[in-house]
Amino acid sequence: MSVYIDGVEVGRTQGNQVKFERTVTPGIHEVKIVGAEGKEFVKTYTFNRGIRNCVCLKTVTNTTEKNCPYDVSIQGPEKVSEGDLITFAVTGPVESGTTLNYAWRVSPSAARITSGLGTSAITVDTGDLGNQTIEAEVVVTDGVYDAQCSQRQVVRTFVERPVVVPVVTPTPYKFDEWDAKAFDDDKARFDNLAIELQNKPDSQGYVIMYQGTDPRNARSRPAEKLSKRALDYLVKTRLVSPNRLQFTNWGQQLYTRYEVWIVPPGANPPVPR
């Protein structure tokens, strides 16, 4: 506080100092005290020689409370799928004319903010963050009432990792194989092939022939002749569409031989070993 006597500043109190002494000449003097906020106390006193005059002031501090100009919260989804973009947004009432500052932080460290830093909403990439929880934190200030009104908000979102269904590549499988014998015996094996193709209407029958090299097989069981006979039986007797059958020759073995494969849709036919 500043102290004036008859309009002349004669000193001031410092810090927490509450006592100030000054010697004046006897007579009438005006005492003025100016407070820290500019408020003045002025009064005229009569001072007599040898008598100490005491001027005591009672200061009153008035505190005016004001509601914070903003009251916000943060919004975000409870869970998302891995690879999705998450939007975290600050919402809530803001007093007109108030400009807010937004300081964002996300964890874990692998979480990447793709847009929105410094604004009321951010977007976070969840790639490679399956089965983890992303935490978004924002500190909101206005640069004026930060000490009283600064707000910290946190929201958490769980990132689900989709179940990966393995892609099964269809493959052909060997259904039967035998050495060529009497045709009645062969027909019984081809009956089984016809039934299998009936049960699997989208599959193909693939018959591999091997020509026998021993004299009897070479003479009486030529692979080409047996192939035509088997195809004729399957198509005409067992009513299998010829479009679902394929006969091929893979070379020679000791005895003329059938090797029967089933080729599911999407599978490649077997190849020579």
Across 212-231, b (16+ Cβ under 10 Å) vs e yields beeeebeeebbbeebbeebb
Q: What are phi and psi of 257, to 5 degrees?
A: -140, 145
pTM equals 0.49
How far apart, in whole angstroms, are the C-alpha atoms of residue 120 and residue 140?
A: 9
Map tokens 């100490």 to a residue.
52
How far apart, in whole angstroms, are the C-alpha atoms of residue 211 and residue 242?
A: 23
Q: Which domains can be identified in the chain, with CATH numbers?
A: 2-47 (no CATH), 73-160 (2.60.40.10), 173-263 (3.30.1330.60)
pLDDT reported for residue 229 = 95
pLDDT in tens, the chain (273 residues): 788 889 888 888 776 666 778 888 898 989 888 887 778 888 898 888 888 888 787 777 777 778 899 999 999 999 999 999 999 999 999 999 999 999 999 999 999 999 999 999 999 999 999 999 999 999 999 999 999 999 999 999 999 999 888 888 999 999 999 999 899 999 999 999 999 999 999 999 999 999 999 988 888 899 999 999 999 999 999 999 999 999 999 999 999 999 999 999 999 999 887
How far apart, in whole angstroms, are the C-alpha atoms of residue 71 and residue 148?
A: 12
How far apart, in whole angstroms, are the C-alpha atoms of residue 211 and residue 258?
A: 9
Q: Which helix (H) or strand (E) holds 227?
A: helix 223-232
User: 233-238, long-range: CB within 8 Å, 24+ apart, which pairs?
Assistant: 233/187, 233/190, 234/190, 234/193, 234/194, 234/205, 238/190, 238/191, 238/194
Count of residues in the chain: 273
Q: Are 150 and 68 in contact (CB under 8 A)?
A: no
pLDDT reported for residue 91 = 96
pLDDT reported for residue 184 = 92
Reported as half-sphere exposure (CB side, CA atoms, 13 A), residue 187 has a value of: 10
Nearest of 18, 135, 120, 5 to residue 70 by alpha carbon: 120
Task: Provide the 10 A C-beta neighbour count for residue 28.
Answer: 9
Task: Provide the 10 A C-beta neighbour count for residue 162.
Answer: 9
